[in-house]
C-alpha cells in the first residue's frame, strides 16, 4: 500500500453517497455520509440535549446536490422536522448506514 501524502488525503473522495427514492416527496435525493465535523456536531447536540429533531438534523447534514453540496442549512432543520416522518426516516436510515452509525457498525469498530 502506498504512503499517503497530505494532498492525497485531502483530495480523496471519501464520502460515499447514493440516490434514495422518496415517493412522499415525488422523487429522489442524494444522501451522503457525514463528515467528521458533522458527526461531532451531531454527537454534541444529542449529548447536550440541544436537538429533539435528530432525524431532521441528520437529513439536513446528509442530503446533497449532484456536486455533493448540502441542500439544507442548519436553519432548515426545524422545517425538515415538520415533513413526513416516513420520508425523513428513509433518508436518515441511509445516512446512518453510509456514516456507519448503526449499532452493528459500532460493535464492529469496538471489536477492532
83 part of a folded domain? yes
Our count of domains for the chain comes to: 1
Distance from C-alpha of 97 to C-alpha of 80, rounded to nearest angstrom:
20
How far apart (Å, rounded) are the C-alpha atoms in residues 97 and 81?
20
Residue 9 included in any domain: no
Asked if residue 112 is part of any domain, the answer here is: no
- Domain extent at residue 60: 15-103
Residue 32 resides in a domain? yes
Q: What is the CATH number of the domain that holds 40?
A: 3.30.2220.20
Question: Mind listing the pLDDT tens digit of every residue in the chain (112 residues)?
Answer: 889 999 999 999 999 999 999 999 999 999 999 999 999 999 999 888 887 899 999 999 999 999 999 999 999 999 999 999 999 999 999 999 999 996 654 444 445 4
Which residue do the cell numbers 440516490 mark?
Answer: 19
Residue 110 lies in a domain: no
Residue 5 lies in a domain: no
The partner residues of 18 in beta bridges, in order of sequence, read 31
Does residue 8 fall inside a structural domain?
A: no
Question: What per-residue confidence (pLDDT) applies to 49?
Answer: 85
Please, are residues 38 and 61 in contact by the beta-carbon 8 Å criterion? yes
Q: Residue 63: which of 89, 29, 94 has the closest Cα?
A: 29
Amino acid at each position: 500500500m502506498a504512503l499517503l501524502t497530505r494532498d492525497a488525503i485531502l483530495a480523496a473522495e471519501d464520502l460515499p453517497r447514493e440516490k434514495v427514492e422518496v415517493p412522499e416527496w415525488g422523487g429522489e435525493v442524494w444522501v451522503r455520509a457525514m463528515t467528521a465535523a458533522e458527526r461531532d456536531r451531531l454527537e454534541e447536540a444529542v449529548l447536550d440535549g440541544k436537538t429533539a429533531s435528530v432525524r431532521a438534523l441528520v437529513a439536513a447534514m446528509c442530503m446533497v446536490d449532484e456536486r455533493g453540496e448540502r441542500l439544507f442549512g442548519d436553519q432548515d432543520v426545524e422545517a425538515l422536522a415538520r415533513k413526513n416522518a416516513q420520508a425523513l426516516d428513509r433518508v436518515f436510515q441511509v445516512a446512518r448506514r453510509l456514516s456507519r452509525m448503526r449499532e452493528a457498525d459500532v460493535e464492529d469498530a469496538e471489536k477492532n
